[in-house]
Amino acid sequence: MSATLSTRGPARDAVVANALSRRRQRINLLVEALCLLATVVGLAFLALILATLLYLGFSGLSATVFTTITKPPGSHGGLLNAIIGSLIQTALGTAIGTPIGLLVGTYLSEYARGSLLGEAVRFVSDVLLSAPSILIGLFVYTVMVSPFGGFSGWAGAVALAVIVIPIVVRTTEDMLRLIPVALREAAVALGAPKWKSIVFICYRAALDGIATGVLLAIARIAGETAPLLFTSLGNLNWSLSLTQPMSSLPVTIYQYAGSAFDDWVQLAWVGALLITFGVLALNVLARIVLRPRT
């Protein structure tokens, strides 16, 4: 025994070394177990939220939810105006924000490499990406609602557009940067002006990445509540006018969930179920779109 150990050192140190090794292994095992636990906890929260939504929202799901507008408590209302309002504002917000975000992303990737202005734009865009959405609502309130005398669907759409821009900027720039230089050079060698090589070569090559960004942006603004509270306000009546206060699913959920009426709370859960699974489906779709690239 001691003969075999003596090649590595005195027997006493080997005992110490073995004890130390066991301790290190134990600590390692403990940390690994804690990390697994942390992951399980994270996944458990997601499962818990989804299970709650299914359990409390699914039972209230019926055709009337989609065919009837919001009504006073006790009269079997639905969420039709909220769903349509959300669709309109989300679509408009995306339609306004996407081209701007696309151009900014193009500027950062194609025109501003290394320039000081480009650095500033990139920095500000990244800050806006995480800026509290409630402040974007307050901002649109001060520039669109308060001077022009009223809450409107337009104001809501603009607030959502401001949220869309930095998301599209980020993905567009990242995706355009992945385009090989050789591709651009090939276009230039054929005599194409720079804008044509960007629009017809680079955009096309980066299309799935850019589409991912737009999908993620839609998913993000579809669930936004805080900016709409100060801009489109919410509307319990049927209204498609963009110059009037406009209903939206998240704001209706907010109003209903905090109410004292059981049927309103039930509808809030249905709305929550719809919006969450819609948003998660968009996210999964976005990841599938991106998959071939990574």
Partner 1 sequence: MSQTVAAPARSRRPLGDLAFEVLATAAGILVLALLGAIIVSLFIGGLPAFRQFGVGFLTSADWDPVQQVFGAVVPIYGTIITSILALLMAVPVAFGIAFWLTELAPAWLRRPVGTAVELLAAVPSIIYGMWGFFIIVPFMGDYIQPFLIDWLGDLPLVGFLFQGPPFGTGIFTAALILAVMVIPFIAATMRDVFQTVPPVFKESAYGLGCTTWEVMRSIVIPYTSTSVVGGIMLGLGRALGETMAVTFVIGNTNRISTSLFGPGNTIASLVALEFPESPAGSLKLASLLALGFLLFVISFIVLAISRLLLRKGKPA
Write out the binding residues for partner 1, residues 31-50 only, by CB under 8 A: 31-32, 34-39, 41-43, 45-46, 48-49
DSSP H helical segments within the chain, as ranges?
A: 2-6, 11-57, 63-67, 80-106, 116-130, 133-140, 153-178, 181-189, 194-196, 203-205, 207-222, 226-229, 249-257, 262-290
Residue appearing with tokens 């709305």: 271
Q: Does 17 bind partner 1 (CB under 8 A)?
A: no
Compute the least distance from the CB of residue 162 to partner 1, in Å: 7
Site track for partner 1 across 57-96, x = CB under 8 A: ----------------------------------------
Identify the residue among 14, 54, 100, 205 touching partner 1 (CB under 8 A). Answer: 100
Compute the least distance from the CB of residue 45 to partner 1, in Å: 5
Q: Does 275 bind partner 1 (CB under 8 A)?
A: yes
Residue 243: helix, strand or coil by DSSP? coil
Compute the least distance from the CB of residue 168 to partner 1, in Å: 11
Question: Cα–Cα–Cα angle for 77, 68, 75, nearest 5°?
Answer: 25
Compute the least distance from the CB of residue 74 to partner 1, in Å: 21
Nearer to partner 1, 24 or 76 (CB): 24
Q: Does 6 bind partner 1 (CB under 8 A)?
A: no
Identify the residue among 72, 238, 280, 293 touching partner 1 (CB under 8 A). Answer: 280
Nearer to partner 1, 123 or 238 (CB): 123
The residues near 288 (Cβ < 8 Å, ≥ 6 apart) are none
Nearer to partner 1, 148 or 240 (CB): 148
Residue appearing with tokens 């669709």: 87
Compute the least distance from the CB of residue 214 to partner 1, in Å: 15
Phi, psi of 246 (to 5 degrees): -125, 140
Compute the least distance from the CB of residue 290 to partner 1, in Å: 11
Nearer to partner 1, 67 or 115 (CB): 115
CA distance 44 to 64: 33
CA distance 237 to 245: 10
Residue 294: helix, strand or coil by DSSP? coil
Site track for partner 1 across 223-262, x = CB under 8 A: xxxx--xx-------------------x--xx--xx----
Nearer to partner 1, 48 or 240 (CB): 48
CA distances from 80 to 97, 134, 164, 232, 279 (A): 25, 25, 25, 17, 18
Stretch that binds partner 1, among 3-11, 182-190, 203-211, 216-224 (CB under 8 A): 216-224
Sites for partner 1 among residues 106-145 (CB under 8 A): 106-108, 110-112, 117-118, 120-121, 123-128, 130-136, 138-139, 142-143
Q: Are 228 and 133 in contact (CB under 8 A)?
A: no
Q: Does 189 bind partner 1 (CB under 8 A)?
A: no
Burial class (CB in 10 A: 0-12, 13-18, 19+), 8: exposed
